[in-house]
Amino acid sequence: MVNFCQKLDGSVVHVSDYDDQAWQLLKESYEVGELVMPCCGAAAVPKTSSNFLKFFAHYSEECSTSPESQWHIKAKDEIVTFLKLFDIEAKLEQSGESRLGSWKADVYFEIESRKVAIEIQHSYQHLRDYLKRQLRYSSANVECYWILYRPRYITLTTSISKYRIKHEFGGEIPSEGLFPCIPELPLVALDVGKDSSSIIGAAGLNSSVENFLYSILEHKFIYQQDRGAWIVIQNS
C-alpha cells in the first residue's frame, strides 16, 4: 500500500489531495486501469483502512517488483508524505540543467530561496559517480541529500573510508578512528519497516524520517568539521 499513484497521463495523485467526500467519490467512480501503482505499473485501487486511512493498493496480485524497487517506492512515498505534513509540495522526477550536465531528482522541492533535491538510491553506484552527480546539483545551486538502501550504504561508506584513509591519512588508519563521511556528500541510509521507518547514519545518527526531513528544513543536518561527520543537531 502506498499514499500515491499515477494517472494514465503520468500525473501524480496523492491521498491528501482528497477529503473524505472526494475519496468516496473516487472509490465509486474510478475504473480499473485508470490509476496505476508507482512501483510496477499494475492497476491501483483506492481503499480505506480499518482506522480510516486512505491508501492505494494493487488491484489484483501482490507487487512483482524486486525488494530494491519496493524499497525505492516506499522511501519516496514516505518522503513525499512527510513533506506534505510540513506543507511542502514536492515534485517527483524533476529535472534541470547545470553547467556540468543535467540532473533529475527523485524528489525535489523549494523552500524560501532554497532548492532541494533528495536522491533515493537503491542501485549500486561508484563513489566518483555520486560525487559527479552531486557536483551537478551544487553547480545548479541545488542542495542534494542522498538516502540509500542499506546494502548500498554499506558499500558506499566502505569506499568513503578507504578514500579518506588513502587521501587524508597517507594509507594508515588513524588511531582515533574516522567516520565514513566527506563534507561534499550528505548521505544516510533508510530502513523501511512495516510500521515505521528509520534513518541511519554515521556517528550514531538514528532518526525518524519525519525528524530527518525536519532537520534538513531547519539547517540542522550539517557536516561537523571537528568530528568529520554528517550529524543532526539535536537542540538549537
**Least distance CB 70 / Zn ion (angstroms):** 7
> Quick one: 122 or 133, whose CB is closer to Zn ion?
122
Q: Which amino acid is at 150?
A: R
Given the C-alpha cell 597517507, which residue does it identify?
A: 170
From residue 106 to residue 145, what is the string marking binding to Zn ion with x (rule CB under 5 A)?
Answer: ----------------------------------------
Q: 103, 77 in Cβ contact below 8 A? A: no
> Quick one: 63 or 203, whose CB is closer to Zn ion?
63
**Least distance CB 64 / Zn ion (angstroms):** 7
> Quick one: 40 or 111, whose CB is closer to Zn ion?
40
3-class DSSP state for residue 42? coil
**Least distance CB 63 / Zn ion (angstroms):** 3
> Quick one: 20 or 68, whose CB is closer to Zn ion?
68
Residues 6+ apart with CB under 8 A from 18: 26, 54
**Which cell goes with 231?**
550529524
Q: 2 to 61, contacts with Zn ion by CB under 5 A?
A: 37, 39-40
Distance CA 139, CA 106 (A): 18
**Least distance CB 73 / Zn ion (angstroms):** 7
Asked if 148 is part of the footprint of Zn ion (rule: CB under 5 A), the reply reads: no
State the helix-helix crossing angle for 67-85 and 209-217, rounded to 10 degrees.
60
Distance CA 4, CA 73 (A): 10
3-class DSSP state for residue 217? helix
Distance CA 189, CA 206 (A): 10
> Quick one: 37 or 199, whose CB is closer to Zn ion?
37
- Counting every residue written for the chain, the total comes to 236
**Which cell goes with 81?**
508524505
**Least distance CB 167 / Zn ion (angstroms):** 42
> Quick one: 39 or 142, whose CB is closer to Zn ion?
39
Determine which residue in the list 63, 135, 165, 222 makes contact with Zn ion, applying CB under 5 A: 63
**Least distance CB 62 / Zn ion (angstroms):** 8
124 DSSP assignment = -
**Least distance CB 76 / Zn ion (angstroms):** 13
> Quick one: 58 or 133, whose CB is closer to Zn ion?
58
Helix (H) or strand (E) holding 17: none
Contacts with Zn ion by CB under 5 A lie at 37, 39-40, 63
